[in-house]
């Protein structure tokens, strides 16, 4: 079988390896679709992000779906031929955080395509993958491409849960990549009234409008575009900060109303914060990291037609054209979500 392996910045290779039969209690998935995530792009362009660096070749990918092709001994609840979205999150379920119900903070997490531990956790961009049945969300009624969007959708559903009550709230979304657009969809589904989105790209802002943002602002061409929301101590109840850029966070903070909640999703490295403004406005700053049960909620919402991810999938390339796919995914003037078709 083939897999997509990163060796160093801009050194992406297709590897060949043998297929391993599923062990007892495992499910074999023949991969159908895989989305190229921002973290995959960090590994591709920079060999990592922040303090996390590649120390050995690593299979990339964690936004995937595929078809059940074999069942290990003792597996029940799944059938050959079913399309499943595969959760990349594999908590140990026995550490103190798992036992508290905070599986996304697991001390022994095995998250596909992560260079955080060493040896690295190999990713899911493989033609055939053996997984735990608990990772499989049956995706009847969805296309493989839609099912592969369950992971980024889960990230945004988790963030929306962290934000608290959303009904009638005014929301600012900074950064309109896939996470920003999905945050707009989640906020609206949760009852947000007025949503404003900012970015530096007209293409991504157009996508934000299509996703339901009431207003969009290109802060590259209109650097003072948020000023009108800063009057009388600010406007927004909730900020989804999805860019990981300090200027976007600072601008968003000044547009927040007292008592508002900031949800930080963007992972751009450490940032200097305007702490005086945060303190004086009594703002609540929350991080949001990965997800757990929200993965299955996301699949359900897509199946019910309550969240439509199809418009976000702008490009699809074959497995053998993986490098082309990574280059396309890096171009924010034309790509929102680029996916790899494994079949």
Instruction: List, for residues 143-177, the tens digit of each pLDDT value.
Output: 999 999 999 999 999 999 999 999 999 999 999 99
Own/partner pairs, 188-194, CB within 8 angstroms, 24+ separation: 188/212, 189/301, 189/306, 189/307, 190/160, 190/166, 191/165, 191/166, 191/167, 192/166, 192/167, 192/168, 192/238, 193/167, 193/168, 193/169, 194/170
Burial (CB count <10 Å: 0-12, 13-18, 19+), residue 174 = buried
The average confidence (pLDDT) of the chain is: 96
Question: What is the DSSP annotation of 249-297?
Answer: HHHHHHTEEEEEEEEE----S-----HHHHHHTT-EEEE----STHHHH
pLDDT, position 217: 98
pLDDT, position 50: 78
pLDDT, position 139: 98
pLDDT, position 103: 95
pLDDT, position 12: 97
Boundaries of every domain in the chain: 2-149+309-341, 155-287
Q: Say what the pTM is.
A: 0.95
Band of pLDDT at residue 343, cut at 50, 70 and 90: confident
pLDDT, position 69: 98
Tally of residues, the chain = 343
Residue 107 CA: distances (Å) to CA of 52, 112, 151, 237, 293: 17, 15, 20, 33, 17
Mean pLDDT of 25-41: 96
Instruction: List, for residues 240-276, the tens digit of each pLDDT value.
Output: 999 989 999 999 999 999 999 999 998 877 788 899 9
| CA quadruple 302, 303, 304, 305: dihedral, nearest 10 | 50
Nearest to 116 by CA among 290, 295, 288, 294: 290
Architecture per CATH, domain 155-287, reads as 3-Layer(aba) Sandwich (3.40)
Mean pLDDT of 300-313: 98
Band of pLDDT at residue 200, cut at 50, 70 and 90: very high
Instruction: List, for residues 45-92, the tens digit of each pLDDT value.
Output: 999 987 889 999 999 999 999 999 999 999 999 999 999 999 999 999
Fold of 2-149+309-341: Quinone Oxidoreductase; Chain A, domain 1 (3.90.180)
- What share of the chain has pLDDT > 70, as a percent? 100
How far is 179 from 157, CA to CA, in rounded Å? 10
Mean pLDDT of 218-233: 96
């Amino acid at each position: 079988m083939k897999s997509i392996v990163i060796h160093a910045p801009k050194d992406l290779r297709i590897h060949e390896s043998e297929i391993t039969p599923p062990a007892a209690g495992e499910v074999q998935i023949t991969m159908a679709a895989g989305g190229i995530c921002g973290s995959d792009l960090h590994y591709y362009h920079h060999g990592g992000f922040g303090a996390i660096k590649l120390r050995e070749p690593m299979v990339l990918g964690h936004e995937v779906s595929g078809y059940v092709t074999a069942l290990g001994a003792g597996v029940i609840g799944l059938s050959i031929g079913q399309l499943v979205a595969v959760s990349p999150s594999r908590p140990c379920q026995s550490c103190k955080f798992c036992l508290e119900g905070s599986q996304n903070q697991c001390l022994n997490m095995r998250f596909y395509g992560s260079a955080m531990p060493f040896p690295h956790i190999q990713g899911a961009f493989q033609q055939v993958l053996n997984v735990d049945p608990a990772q499989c969300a049956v995706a009847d009624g969805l296309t493989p491409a839609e099912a592969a969007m369950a992971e980024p959708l889960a990230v945004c559903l988790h963030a929306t849960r962290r934000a608290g009550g959303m009904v009638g709230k005014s929301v600012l979304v900074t950064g309109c990549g896939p996470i920003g657009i999905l945050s707009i969809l989640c906020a609206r589904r949760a009852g947000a009234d007025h949503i404003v989105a900012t970015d530096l790209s007209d293409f991504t802002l157009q996508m934000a409008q299509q996703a339901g943002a009431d207003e969009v602002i290109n802060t590259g061409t209109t650097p003072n575009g948020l000023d009108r929301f800063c009057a009388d101590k600010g406007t927004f109840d909730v900020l989804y900060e999805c860019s990981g850029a300090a200027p976007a966070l600072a601008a968003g903070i000044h547009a927040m109303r007292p008592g508002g909640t900031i949800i930080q999703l963007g992972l751009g490295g450490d940032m200097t914060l305007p702490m005086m403004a945060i303190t004086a406005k009594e703002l609540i700053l929350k991080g949001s990291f990965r997800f757990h049960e929200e993965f299955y909620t996301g699949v359900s919402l897509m199946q019910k037609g309550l969240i439509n991810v199809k418009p976000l999938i702008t490009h699809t390339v074959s497995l053998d054209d993986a490098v082309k796919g990574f280059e396309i995914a890096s171009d924010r003037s034309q790509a929102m979500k680029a996916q790899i078709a494994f079949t």
